Amino acid sequence: MRPYDLLFRHVATRMPAELTHCVGVSALRAAAPLLPDRPRPGTPVEAMGLRFANPLGVAAGYDKDAEGVRALARLGFGAVEVGTVTARPQPGNPRPRLFRLPADRALVNRMGFNNAGADVVAARLAAVRSGPGAGTVLGVNIGKSKAATDAVADYRYSARVLGPYADYVVVNVSSPNTPGLRELQGVDALEPLLAAVREEVGATPLLVKITADLDDDGVDAVADLAVAQGLDGIVATNTTIAREGLASPADVVAAAGSGGLSGAPLAGPARAVLARLRARVGDALTLVSVGGIDTGAEARARLDAGATLVQAYTGFVYGGPAWPRRVLASM
């Protein structure tokens, strides 16, 4: 058993999941100057006018406030997507709000877009851009402030403030933990929202992130809208509210409660959405596959199924700091 696996099993699992996560991000931030700036492994990918050192990126949700960008890049990731960031700082939902399901290599979260807000994150990204690691492909994932009454204006502000520091911007309308957010995946609501963000970010590549819980018609509708509006890509998928087929005992799942499920159980639904998207859009869009990627074989399977890039969060949490290079070596 690897040292990280022992540490995770015997130490991390005895601590609240969110505390472990915060400690991990803080450790990454502190370790960044000490980590060797080695060439990142894997095969480079050209997409959206950008050059990725390899196709494996960090999904949004891990580094919400852009605190660990340099360290994550030095661990081997080809891109880091920070966020989700909202226009206003917000504390998120009451704790506890992050739970492990180790038997499924999964997490349940109802974080509620806790983050420092667009202005603070923009200042951190400016520092990243001017210092070591400035060549990292940097995505910024933006979402709706819980208190916002005008979603379009709220997203527009985040796009205006954060866009200058992003290599690409992702509009997140798919988290289950912000009331009313998923309603924005409907074409009538999504169209003006994407148009407003596009006005703010200009030529910066723009993507939308969708949930695994959309039905086939919903996936097709978002795909058609993305092509019609000239988006650069789709990130698929966010977490799921489904709980079918889990290995964890029912009482453990019930204790975790509501929220988005991520990790290995999401692999099947994420693959299905990827296949439908690629069949629908052909070569018109970059597709970023995320959800249930925890091995090199799974990452390779997504690329073979039509993904341009892949991302991970939960697989990285369970796999530890050596996980990115280990996955890239086995793809």
Q: Which residues are annotated as part of the binding site?
A: 60-64, 84, 109-113, 141, 172, 177, 209, 237-239, 263, 292, 313-314
100 pairs with which residues across the strands? Answer: 107
Q: Which of 106, 81, 135, 56 is nearest to 245 (CA)?
A: 106
Annotated binding site for substrate: 64, 109-113, 172, 177, 238-239
The total of other beta-carbon atoms located within 10 Å of residue 52's CB is 23
Asked if residue 234 lies in contact with residue 210, where contact means CB atoms within 8 angstroms, the answer is: yes
Q: Is 262 a catalytic residue?
A: no
Three-class SS state of 82: strand
How far is the C-alpha of 239 from the C-alpha of 43, rounded, in Å? 28
Give the distance, in angstroms, between the CA of residue 197 and the centroid of all CA atoms in the same chain: 19
Asked if residue 47 lies in contact with residue 309, where contact means CB atoms within 8 angstroms, the answer is: yes
Annotated binding site for FMN: 60-64, 84, 141, 172, 209, 237, 263, 292, 313-314
Three-class SS state of 137: strand
Name the catalytic one among 158, 175, 262, 289.
175
CA distances from 275 to 13, 59, 266, 279, 329 (A): 35, 20, 14, 6, 25
Q: Active-site positions? A: 175
